[in-house]
Structure 1
C-alpha cells in the first residue's frame, strides 16, 4: 500500500501504535496525598500525572486506567483484526472462483473441432491455422486480447452470446 492509499483513520491508528510502542507498559497508581499515575520502578519511577481531589471520581477512574485500557484495546483490536483476516481468507477459499472465459475461449479455438466447424459454417472462417482462428474470434468478439473476456463485461457478454449460438448450432445438428 503506498502513501496515497492510506486513509486518515489508518494514519491515526499508526500514530496511536507508534506512541504506544514508545511508551512504557509498566504503569501504577500511587497515593501520596494525591492520586498519581506512575511509570517505571524504583529509581526509574516517574510521576506522569497527578489527579487532584477536585476531579470527579468517574473522571479519575477513567484517567487512571487509560494506560491499561489503551494497551488492552490495541491488543484486542489486533486479535479481532487477525480473526477478521482469517474469516475473509476462509470466505475467499470457500467462494466459487470466477470463470476464466479467456481460457475457455482459447481452449475452444484450439481443441474443440465442433467449434471450429461452427466457425467455418457460420462465420466463413478458414480453420486450418490456429492463429487465424484466434484472430477471427477476437474480431467477432471485437476485442484486442482474449484477457478482455475476463475484464470487460461487454466482451464477456459477446463471448457468452457466441458460445450460446454455438451450443444452439450444435444441438440443431
Structure 2
C-alpha cells in the first residue's frame, strides 16, 4: 500500500517545476509590441533577434502587460521566497515548539509588513481608489503614497513611533474592509 504523498513534498516538487519552467525561458526578457496585425509579446532568440512569442488579439492591456512581465514576476517571487526561507532558517528556534518563529511578546515588524503590502496588487488598488495613488501602480509609488498617508518619512518609523503604528493598523483595517466589500 502506497502512503499518501506528503503535502510539503508535493509543494517542493511543484516549486521545482516552476523553477525549471522559468529557467527554460531564460533570460525571459519579454515585452509587449505591436505591428500591423495587432498586439503581441516578443522576446529575444539566442542571437538577440526579436521573435514573436504570442499574439494577443483578444487580450486586454492589463492581460498583455501581465503576460509580458510574467517571467520577471515569477523570478521576483522565487527570490522573495528564497530570502524568506533563508530568514526562517536563521531564526532561532522557539524553546516550546522547536520551530523558528517570532517569540511571543516580541514587537511586530510593521515596517516589513508595510513593505510586503506595498508589493500587493490589491493594496495598490486600494491606495489608488481610496488615497489617489497615481498610475503606474509600482511598489515604489505605493511606498511613497503610504508614507504620505501615514505622515512618516520612512516605514521604519512604524516600528519606532506608536502613533505611526496606530495609523498603520487603522489603514490596514480600512484595507481589509475595502477588500471584503469587493
TM-score bracket, normalised by the shorter chain, equals 0.3 to 0.5
Larger Rg: 1
Higher fraction of helix: 1
Q: TM-score, normalised by structure 2?
A: 0.42
